[in-house]
Structure 1
Amino acid sequence: MGRGTSRNIGINVSHVIGFVCLILIHARRSNAFEFSVGGNGKWSAPSDNSSNPFNQWAERMRFQIGDSLVFTYKPNEDSVLYVAKDAFDSCNTYSYISKYVDGHTVFKFNQSGPFFFISGVKENCLKYEKLHLVVLADRSNKTAAPSPSPSEGGPAAATPSPAPSGEESPSPPAGTVEINPTPAPTSETSPPPPSSSPRLALIGFTGSIAAFVAPSALLFL
């Protein structure tokens, strides 16, 4: 076999390996999801004040570390408060960890455990514009403090006070900052690990492609 042929085979193998790596990277990035609060992203007082539709929606979802929650509202009429459980229960709009007023808040979950959000308008909170959800534990057991990612379409108000369980506070994104030194919510018991999901199926599929393509490339050697 000549040098030219060997060189071409080497180049083809490199292309195959690079293609497989790109698929694996894409699968890893697509492992995180962006949830629109309530299913449509609309953050406002429910028309039916007899129950909390936001909590009912959250109970049907499976949030994991790396996922994001999107709140959409009119910035001059409402806001999002990330609060502790006591403030959530009492609709205390003066005791919050972080306040967001940009109108399109994207909050990223970087640790497992319970999260509590209420409207910055007390009357709205009393009408069940409030959300309690639980983020499932990371399978790698890696945890970090929660930090909202920069919002699209406007500045985000961030910089939480000390994070739950004594961990490091998140780094604030650029934009308006409002701080209220209130202790973060304590951790609650995390729910059992999730069953198989589309995320695992995607990773298994990309692994099958790599297992099939690599041996095929070796036939040229």
Structure 2
Amino acid sequence: MSNLNCILLLSLAPFFTLAGATQHKVGGSMGWTVPTDPNSMSYNQWAEKNRFQIGDTLLFVYQPDQDSVLQVDKIAYKHCNTSSYIARFDDGNTVFTLNMSGPFYFISGVEGNCIRNESLIVVVMADKSISSASHPPPPSPESVSPPPPMEGTTPSPAPEVAASVPPPSPPSGASMKLVSYFGLVGGGVGLLLFVL
């Protein structure tokens, strides 16, 4: 393989890994600050309107000399405990990668701001491809055989099961991202073959 082909392949690699990730700006246009309007959407309401997946990032935008972001556990979140945190960020433009499924808890590093609702819970969806592969589907009614009849009894006929086939489910966002990812990979391989 020539040096040009290696360089081309390495330059395309970041696009393959980032194809499915989404960056979410926390709070939308409001950014990471104390909510001043009582009618404005809370950070948790904002989070409920979004879907977070493994690999997505959160972008916290705030004034670095006036605020910070703390990743905390559930108890510190509940009590706005700014002295017990997992990670602290204070650069004013924090990008946090959601690296696993489940809840992530964030509060302002200024206790008074946290008490005034500058706090956020983000729940990351589980990777369906992993969970569905590790748990086989339940058996269908047709594949379950009835227990053998007891001695001295006559078996009753099995009830007829209506043969109905459920309609296929629409593609999920994850499967669409997977298709996009493989489309990018195929395009990159095609480009490499064209260059060769």
Does the C-alpha gap of structure 1 residues 21 and 92 become closer, same or farther in structure 2, counting only changes over 3 Å? Answer: closer
Secondary structure, counterpart of 2:60 in structure 1 = strand
What's 1:123 paired with? 112
Please, what TM-score do these two structures have when normalized by structure 2? 0.61
- Partners of 1:21 and 1:76 in 2: CA distance: 39
User: Is the counterpart of residue 199 in structure 1 residue 177 in structure 2?
Assistant: yes
What's 2:138 paired with? none
Does the C-alpha gap of structure 1 residues 203 and 127 become closer, same or farther in structure 2, counting only changes over 3 Å? Answer: same
- Partners of 1:108 and 1:71 in 2: CA distance: 11
How far the C-alpha of 1:130 sits from its partner, in A, is 0.5
How far the C-alpha of 1:79 sits from its partner, in A, is 0.6
Does the C-alpha gap of structure 1 residues 22 and 78 become closer, same or farther in structure 2, counting only changes over 3 Å? Answer: closer
- Partners of 1:105 and 1:25 in 2: CA distance: 20
Does the C-alpha gap of structure 1 residues 72 and 21 become closer, same or farther in structure 2, counting only changes over 3 Å? Answer: closer
For 1:130-149, list aligned pairs within 5 A.
130-139=119-128, 141=130
Poorly superposed stretches of 4+, deviation over 2 Å: 19-29, 48-52, 138-142, 194-198, 203-210
What's 1:45 paired with? 34
Please, what TM-score do these two structures have when normalized by structure 1? 0.55
Structure 1, unpaired ranges of 5+: 1-14, 143-193
- Partners of 2:30 and 2:39 in 1: CA distance: 21
Does the C-alpha gap of structure 1 residues 50 and 78 become closer, same or farther in structure 2, counting only changes over 3 Å? Answer: same
Secondary structure, counterpart of 2:63 in structure 1 = coil
Structure 2, unpaired ranges of 5+: 132-170
Larger radius of gyration: 2
What value does the CA root-mean-square deviation take over the aligned residues?
3.5
**Which letter maps to 2:72?**
V
How far the C-alpha of 1:136 sits from its partner, in A, is 1.6
Does the C-alpha gap of structure 1 residues 205 and 94 become closer, same or farther in structure 2, counting only changes over 3 Å? Answer: same
How far the C-alpha of 1:44 sits from its partner, in A, is 0.2
What's 1:152 paired with? none
How far the C-alpha of 1:24 sits from its partner, in A, is 8.6
Alignment check: 8 A CA contact 2:16 2:185 kept = no
**Equivalent residue pairs, number:** 149
1:65 aligns with one of 42, 45, 54? 54
Once the two structures are superposed, residues 66-114 of structure 1 have per-residue CA deviations (whole angstroms, 9 ceiling, x without a partner) of 1111111111110101111111111111221111111111111111110
Secondary structure, counterpart of 2:27 in structure 1 = helix
**Which letter maps to 1:62?**
R
User: Is the counterpart of residue 77 in structure 1 residue 66 in structure 2?
Assistant: yes
- Partners of 2:14 and 2:90 in 1: CA distance: 34
What's 1:100 paired with? 89
- Partners of 1:88 and 1:52 in 2: CA distance: 19
Alignment check: 8 A CA contact 1:79 1:119 kept = yes
